[in-house]
Amino acid sequence: MPRFAAIATLAATALISGCLPPPPGHFGSFVTSVTPDAYGQRLCRHLDLEDYSACLSEVLEYFEKPSPNDLPYGHHSNAGPIALVLDRRVYLGRYDGSPLVTSFHVTHGNQFCQGGYDAFAGSTDAILAVWCSDGRRGRADLTSALDGRNGIGLLELEDGTRAEIVFGYTALGQAEPYPYVHWTPPTD
């Protein structure tokens, strides 16, 4: 029965988000079709042009390899790896999500960013409040892929800096080790 409820909720969200404009404060829709190319663009955009195409090819090759869909439902269906590309650096970590409470924590060397929302604590929107170890604050808006277990997002800090977000096992496999080995972020 819980699986049926999750599928019904996802279907309703997909229908609503496809028919209505995003609510105020959101960068995009709640659910969308995300292609391997879209994941690659977000994960590689920070690289110089000569490295961008090689990185994008590696991401697309990763998606071409057959991989079993053997992750069990339950905790893995709403938690997993996340990558945040901020200031030309890839921050890696984990997200945990549900419709009412979501959080993430990513690191790059000694630097980190984390964010979340909690409807039980008064959050009225699914926009994640974000704070980073360098003192910057902002907000992140996540969009789920149609499978509901992966997706993309955008982080916007108060100083105008923007960062790309990719999350889920399909896009990243796992955060450690980073699957795109040639583009593993060096620690500072």
Instruction: State residue 126's pLDDT score.
Output: 64
The values of phi and psi at residue 44, to 5°, are -115, -10
Residue type, 144: S
Q: pTM of the full predicted structure?
A: 0.75
pLDDT (tens digit per residue) in 32-55: 788 899 999 998 988 888 888 888
Would you say residue 122 lies in a domain?
Answer: yes
Total domains present in the chain: 1
Instruction: State residue 108's pLDDT score.
Output: 92
Would you say residue 188 lies in a domain?
Answer: no
Would you say residue 177 lies in a domain?
Answer: yes
- C-alpha closest to that of 28 among 165, 169, 187: 165
| Regions of the chain where pLDDT drops below 50 | 1-26
Q: Note whether 63 and 36 are within 8 A (CB).
A: yes
Instruction: State residue 133's pLDDT score.
Output: 96
Q: Note whether 41 and 56 are within 8 A (CB).
A: yes
Cα 103 to Cα 75: distance, rounded to the nearest angstrom = 14
Q: What is the 3-state secondary structure (H, E, C) of 127-188?
A: CEEEEECCCCEEEEEEEEECCCCCEEEEEEECCCCEEEEEECHHHHCCCCCCCCHHHCCCCC
Would you say residue 10 lies in a domain?
Answer: yes
Would you say residue 141 lies in a domain?
Answer: yes
pLDDT (tens digit per residue) in 50-79: 888 888 888 888 888 866 555 555 555 678
Would you say residue 13 lies in a domain?
Answer: yes
Cα 52 to Cα 173: distance, rounded to the nearest angstrom = 20
Residue whose tokens read 């959050």:
123
Residue 32's domain spans which residues?
2-183
Would you say residue 124 lies in a domain?
Answer: yes
